[in-house]
Amino acid sequence: MTDADGTTRTVPLLRPLLQIPRSRLQAYLKEQGVVHVTDSTNAQNDASRNRLRNALLPTAAAVNPGFADALLRLADDAREDEAYFDLRITAFFAEHGCTAADPIPRQALLDQPPAVLRRILSAVYDAHRTRIPTLKPLTHAVLDSMRTAVQTGTRAALGAGYHFSADDGFCRIAQDQMTAPQAYRLPLPPGSVVTLPTGAACFFCDGSVTASENLQYLKNIYKFFISTHINSDTLIDSVYLRPRRDSKTDRYLCGGSHKTAKDALSAHHVPAQLRPDIPLFCDGGGIVWIPHCGIRDSVNPRMTDKGTICDFYYFYNNEVNDYASRY
């Protein structure tokens, strides 16, 4: 619950009669001569919980009379499992001398089973959300992007000007501008969300279910983005992101001629205010794509044989969204 001053408090909820069937409770009340009151809205199917209680449960019970008992046993098992995982999580933080709000050694997370890692990351997110009210409730897509960041040593965008980073040996949630290095080289695995030091985000969409969920998550956070199609079968090695360096090394074959990143941005009339933050999408063969400009001829679906069509996305930092949207 939330107090009038905005303080969030945890309220224990006790439901001692939850496992007793309604028919037994009603029979007991009748024996005791106690008149009970039924909420008339319980018979209405407007709310999801009412539809489950009034339609789904009776149907399931008709197929399997023991369905309700099995559901209760499953709930009991889940509570016992969750109690065990709570002990594991508590022991994890005690062993490493930190809390969910502190930086955590990445290797310590990599050593955890998936079920434990998922709960540790949930605890990390919840610990920060108590002090960052602008962070949205944790979703499966966000949690999955955090797990990918741990596994790949990259970053995951969280929105509200924050990201989860695992690219320096420690895992933490921090403000985008507070941990920005002057230079970077960040892997961009398919399906993962990578937050740049500028606060912008990049994404390699391979069409998988996870990638689609993460893409929708990004579109809910960032107001403005651009994308391009590529033939991923012609990529050389893995994709990574880096900023511009100089005209000699920032060159690629686009549209039949070699161009520098500087000339490409100028030719496409990209505003000077936006150019310093625009990343270069690269692979083992050099530059693949410069946002707002063309893609390398060797990955251009219109200039190559049939292959797997994927998408690169560049999501602008929300701080420059208003300006970028006018461009």
How confident is the model at residue 323, as a pLDDT? 45
Q: For residue 179, how many other CB atoms are within 10 A of its CB?
A: 15
Q: Which of 21, 13, 9, 129 is nearest to 66 (CA)?
A: 21
Q: Dump pLDDT digits (tens) for 55-82.
A: 888 888 888 888 888 888 888 898 899 9
Which domain does 242 fall in, by range?
90-326
Q: Which of 153, 156, 170 is nearest to 210 (CA)?
A: 156
How confident is the model at residue 293, as a pLDDT? 94
Residue 38, domain member (yes or no): no
Residue 134, domain member (yes or no): yes
In one letter, which amino acid is 17? Answer: L
- Per DSSP, which regions of 60-181 are E strands? 104-105, 155-159, 162-165, 170-175
How confident is the model at residue 290, as a pLDDT? 96
Q: Give dist(CA 230, CA 222) in Å, integer.
A: 22
Q: Could you tell me which residues are beta bridge partners of residue 164?
A: 156, 173
Which contiguous run of DSSP H or E holds residue 92?
Answer: helix 67-95
The count of structural domains within the chain is 1
Mean pLDDT along residues 164-193: 79
Residue 221, domain member (yes or no): yes
Residue 242, domain member (yes or no): yes
Q: Dump pLDDT digits (tens) for 84-109.
A: 999 999 999 999 999 999 999 999 99
Residue 40, domain member (yes or no): no
Residue 1, domain member (yes or no): no
Which two structure tokens, joined as six digits, stand for 121? 């990351």
Which contiguous run of DSSP H or E holds residue 289?
Answer: strand 286-289
Q: Dump pLDDT digits (tens) for 53-62.
A: 788 888 888 8
Q: Dump pLDDT digits (tens) for 5-38.
A: 555 566 777 878 777 777 788 888 888 888 878 7
Q: Give dist(CA 277, CA 199) in Å, integer.
A: 9
Query: Which position has the token pair 């990004």?
Result: 218
pLDDT band at 143 (very low <50, low <70, confident <90, very high): very high
Could you report how far apart the first and last alpha carbons of the chain are, in Å?
Answer: 43
Q: What is the pTM assigned to this prediction?
A: 0.49
How confident is the model at residue 177, as a pLDDT? 56
How confident is the model at residue 318, as a pLDDT? 66
How confident is the model at residue 128, as a pLDDT? 92
Ordered strands of the 162-165 beta sheet: 104-105, 170-175, 162-165, 155-159
Residue 158, domain member (yes or no): yes
Which two structure tokens, joined as six digits, stand for 295? 């893609």
Q: Dump pLDDT digits (tens) for 231-282.
A: 999 999 999 999 988 767 799 999 999 999 989 998 998 877 678 889 999 9
The crossing angle, in degrees rounded to 10, of helices 67-95 and 114-129 is: 70
Q: Dump pLDDT digits (tens) for 289-319.
A: 999 999 999 999 998 888 899 999 999 876 5
Residue 73, domain member (yes or no): no
